[in-house]
Amino acid sequence: MIRFVDVHKSYRVDRRDIPALQPFSLDIADGEVFGIIGLSGAGKSTLIRLINLLERPSGGKILVGDIEMTALAEPALREQRRRIGMIFQHFNLLASQTVADNVAFPMRLAGERNAATLRDRVNELLARVGLTAHADKYPSQLSGGQKQRVGIARALANRPSILLCDEATSALDPQTTASVLELLAEINRELKLTIVLITHEMDVVRRVCDRVAVLDAGVIVESGTVVDVFLHPQHATTKRFVNEALPEETAGEQTAFSQVQGRLLRLSFRGDTTLTPTLGRVARETGIDFNILAGRIDRIKHLPYGQLTLAMQGERVDAALVALREAGIEIEELNR
């Protein structure tokens, strides 16, 4: 468990305190993938660096497991940092060292001297990230995606319980992003590692995160499970992020909808309800008519979800809505 208790952070610039993060409390559970999304300057880099105390909070407590990080003296803090892996947007590999030496580096820092132990662990890690053939290359000879894989192998070297990802895919192309995210999800699954990632892309959150917090100008404006935040965004910033990943109806379509007869509804399906023909069954039973105006089906992490915008007509629309809600479908009325 990572726990922030009344944490806030401001920077001192020209003898004035510039607030970066307003007071907040937040719990991140063991084994989950927690996303923090925000625009640049929202404070997400600061937030993730509070966990391993690369940034010190101006007030409040930060706990990792049972250990109060903010109370640790320098040597004990270094010891704890070795149990928290971190990967970076620009990889931050040692240019003067080979891939194998980069991966061995955190183990050497921790005092491991046995060449055989180091070699075996490096081989194991490189196999996990699929870079066995590149052990003796230098970072400059690798592609961006390969560099990030080296970064991941390095971050896992000391068997951490937490992995921090600082915009880990922001410098990568979409395909490489997908494969790196897949690797992160696999690591989370197989090693039961807690992952905290920051990003400005909702798509990254949708693909790998279990829960998400939305950060806007130093304030956590919304947090919850990705499904809830994704399907029912509350705050304007969240809506903007969600719309990037899931284009909503355009203004033209909105106008067209207003001319449609009947009640305009948005139905959200998640999980099993996506896969059952509930809408057709309810329509038959209640004798209503519907006209599908827009819709999509996709996945949030492994959970299938769908959204349909439709116009519904008939005498027993209310009964139909009750039946749909009973079947687990969420309904929003758009023209009331």
Partner 1 sequence: MSSTPILQTLFPNIDDWGEIGRACIDTLLMLGGSLLLTGLIGLPLGVLLYLTGKGQLRPMPKLYAITSLLVNILRSVPFIILMIVLMPVTYFLVGTKLGIRGAIPPLVIGAAPFFARLVETALREVEQGVIEASQAMGASLWQIVRHVLLPEARGGLFAGITVTAIALVGYTAMGGAIGSGGLGDLAYRYGYLSYKSDYMLVTVALLIVLVQLLQMLGDRIVARYSRR
Query: Footprint of partner 1 on this chain (CB under 8 A)?
Result: 52, 54, 78-82, 84, 86, 88, 90, 92-97, 105-106, 108-110, 138-140, 154, 158, 164
- Name the residue nearer to partner 1 (CB basis): 141 or 313: 141
Q: Which helix (H) or strand (E) holds 220?
A: strand 219-225
- Name the residue nearer to partner 1 (CB basis): 198 or 267: 198
CA distance 59 to 43: 16
3-class DSSP assignment, residue 118:
helix
Question: Rounded to the nearest whole angstrom, what is the least distance from the CB of residue 113 to partner 1 in the complex?
Answer: 13
Question: Rounded to the nearest whole angstrom, what is the least distance from the CB of residue 125 to partner 1 in the complex?
Answer: 14
Structure tokens at 324: 């749909």
AA letter at 49: R
Question: Rounded to the nearest whole angstrom, what is the least distance from the CB of residue 325 to partner 1 in the complex?
Answer: 48
Question: Rounded to the nearest whole angstrom, what is the least distance from the CB of residue 201 to partner 1 in the complex?
Answer: 20
- Name the residue nearer to partner 1 (CB basis): 26 or 72: 72
- Name the residue nearer to partner 1 (CB basis): 105 or 257: 105
- Name the residue nearer to partner 1 (CB basis): 78 or 119: 78
Structure tokens at 170: 């922001």
Question: Rounded to the nearest whole angstrom, what is the least distance from the CB of residue 78 to partner 1 in the complex?
Answer: 4
AA letter at 243: N
- Name the residue nearer to partner 1 (CB basis): 81 or 207: 81
Question: Rounded to the nearest whole angstrom, what is the least distance from the CB of residue 11 to partner 1 in the complex?
Answer: 12
- Could you say which DSSP state residue 235 is in? S
The answer to whether the beta carbons of residues 63 and 7 sit under 8 Å apart is no
DSSP string, 58-87: SEEEEEETTEEGGG--HHHHHHHHTTEEEE
3-state secondary structure 251-302: HHHHHHHHCCCCEEEEEEEEHHHHHCCHHHHHHHHHCCEEEEEEEEEEEECC
* Geometric angle at alpha carbon 222, from 40 and 327, rounded to 5°: 130
> In this structure, how many other beta carbons lie within 10 angstroms of the beta carbon of residue 159?
12
Question: Rounded to the nearest whole angstrom, what is the least distance from the CB of residue 183 to partner 1 in the complex?
Answer: 19
The answer to whether the beta carbons of residues 2 and 27 sit under 8 Å apart is yes
Question: Rounded to the nearest whole angstrom, what is the least distance from the CB of residue 188 to partner 1 in the complex?
Answer: 19
Question: Rounded to the nearest whole angstrom, what is the least distance from the CB of residue 194 to partner 1 in the complex?
Answer: 16
- Name the residue nearer to partner 1 (CB basis): 71 or 109: 109
CA distance 76 to 66: 14
The answer to whether the beta carbons of residues 104 and 124 sit under 8 Å apart is no
- Could you say which DSSP state residue 110 is in? T
Query: Backbone dihedral region of 294: left (phi > 0), alpha (psi from -120 to 50 degrees) or beta?
Result: beta
Residue whose token pair is 């990802």: 165
- Name the residue nearer to partner 1 (CB basis): 58 or 97: 97
- Name the residue nearer to partner 1 (CB basis): 57 or 106: 106
